[in-house]
Chains A and B, each alone.
Chain A
Amino acid sequence: MRAVLITVLALAGLAALVGDAVAPHDPAAQNLVLGAVGPSADHWLGTDELGRDVLSRLLAGAGSALFWPVLVAVGTTLLSTALGLYAGYRGGWVDSLMMRVADLAIAMPGMLVLIVLVGVIGGGYGWAVLAMAVLFTPGDIRVVRSLTLAQRQMAYAEAAYTLGLRPSRIMFRHLLPNLAPTVVASALLSFVAALVSLAGLSFLGIGLPAGTPDWGLMIEENRGLLDLNPLASIAPAALITVVASAATLLGDRLFETMSEGGAR
């Protein structure tokens, strides 16, 4: 099962890296005479309304569809782990302040704020990615912090302090490995959330100019073609679903096995 999940994600990653190069057609090349038709030998997934090759557009869109979410996941995970560890280990006013801010951020309807911010102010993917990192981080900080608090009170952590180890060593060598299952799982969840949110933004027509080969945008642009070439919108929807599900399931499995392998 795990091998399947990793294979799915690896294939998606491969498409993101070399998708542009291996695309059978120019993703932007129009063929208005052809229009929207179903799958054929030349166009495996058919074409859209403007006669553009759906497969090529999917491959061309893989890069941005996956790169930005990876960036969000890496960024939020690094940031929230560092801050959560610090807040949980040190406590004090820094901790209180961070938690108040986190409470506020968590109570906000995040996606709504994102849509409104990016939609009204504009700025494209860059802004959206930044806003997303800001929105996701507080929740993760809270998770890491509460786990850190629990670990810090365990005898091994107190023994480490009693031995006079430096705080950074206690945090990174002693506490962090025991938080690893959660950190890894939440990194994958952040990836999924970012993937879904970014695709969602472009599905709503926010953040990207029309015509960009983007999975979310393709669903939206081609959803009128469900009778002519259903694959034009179903294929990107299925791709997002498969990648998101695989990452979520993998996160769940990794959490299980890492927790068993580590503590108890």
Chain B
Amino acid sequence: MAILAFLGRRLLAAVLLLGVLSVLTFGLLAASPGGPEQVLLGGRPSTPETRAAIRAEYHLDDPFPVRYARWLGDVLSGDFGTSIAYREPVVNIIAERLPITAGLAAYAVVITVVVGVPLGLIAAIRRGGTLDQGITATSLIALAIPSFALSILLLYGFAVALGWFPVFGVGETPMERIVHLTLPAVALASAQTAIVVRQMRAAALDLDQQDFMTFAKARGLARPTVWIAYALRNAALPVLTVGGLILAANLTGALFVEQAFGLHGLGSLLVGAVGQKDIPIVQMLVLLSGAIVVVVNLLIDLAYLAVDPRVRYGAMEAA
């Protein structure tokens, strides 16, 4: 019962968020300079006749809520419209660009986990020492550096000056792809790794002071039990909560990193579409990222339910 209520609340919040985002994105068309006709005409010269034709074709004279409802109906049935610049269905263009961004994001997540978790633990174990101070300061700086600045620095250092990595392109074979995507993935991963390091360190330090850890050791429990059933499961909770933050870092970071490295993924597609006022593409990309945010947050909630009985029994709200 408590589980259902919990999930119900979360689903409601998710729907609300997507609703607000969809109104905002749809409103974009109306709010863009020159009005919707100009946007829909793209760069072509307009005559009163063409404008009238556009108005009729897109039902622009209907009131806003009606237009919104119609648009939402289309979106929900999978019709995202046609790109103004490419003259192609939006879905096709996005499908074409998706693999690069997905690969980049996945690569960055792997780096984040492989580097972030151990570094955070090491910092906690060496608390107060030089290594800890180094890791903590570095992670703060990594949080502060904008990904585009880092991209340029990496590009110059490792691709131009040292020549270890290619400057542009994505490569052909899978191996080449990995090599080509390494610098962008590092640039993308740095901020989110910093988040994980800090959270992991804090969780581990907190855990170290918990009575239940001492009590577990005092009973002579086997090391795997202490590490997995006590340390890891309890540390997982606070680290899970930053999942959403990491996602946000990932989504926006991809925009800059793709632009800086000249990768043709969804990020650079969005930047281009914004520049060209290619509203249908912008709309779908915004909705897509909203949906990703919502889905990931729901997954985090489910993970909470699985790990923490207090959430399951409704005694505590997930953070």
User: Which A residues contact B (CB, under 8 angstroms)?
Assistant: 103-104, 107-113, 115-117, 119-122, 192, 196, 199-200, 203-206, 216, 219-220, 223, 226-227, 230, 233-234, 236-238, 240-241, 244-245, 247-249, 252
Contacts and interface: CB of A to CB of B under 8 A. Distances in A.
Interface of A is mostly: helix
10 nearest CB pairs, A to B: A119-B274, A111-B252, A237-B149, A248-B144, A244-B144, A196-B146, A245-B141, A237-B152, A245-B144, A226-B160
A116 B252 CA distance: 12
19 contacts: A104-B16, A107-B293, A111-B255, A116-B270, A119-B274, A120-B277, A121-B33, A196-B146, A199-B148, A200-B256, A203-B259, A204-B259, A204-B271, A226-B160, A233-B152, A237-B148, A245-B141, A249-B140, A249-B144
Given A204-B255, A204-B274, A226-B167, 17 more contacts: A103-B13, A104-B16, A108-B293, A110-B248, A110-B252, A112-B270, A116-B270, A120-B279, A219-B149, A227-B160, A233-B156, A238-B149, A241-B141, A244-B144, A245-B145, A248-B141, A249-B140
Contacts of A200: 146, 148, 256
B79 to A, nearest CB: 21
Contacts of A116: 25, 28, 270, 274, 282, 286
B200 to A, nearest CB: 17
A200 B28 CA distance: 21
B150 to A, nearest CB: 7
A115 B253 CA distance: 12
A44 to B, nearest CB: 18
Interface of B is mostly: helix
Interface residues of B, number: 49
A109 B248 contact: yes
Contacts of A204: 255-256, 259, 271, 274
B17 interface: yes
Contacts of B33: 121-122
B160 A230 contact: yes
Given A116-B282, A219-B149, A241-B149, A109 B144 contact: no
Interface of B: 13, 16-17, 20-21, 24-25, 28, 31-33, 137, 140-141, 143-146, 148-150, 152-153, 155-156, 160-161, 167, 244, 248, 251-252, 255-256, 259-260, 270-271, 274-275, 277, 279, 282, 286, 289-290, 293-294, 297
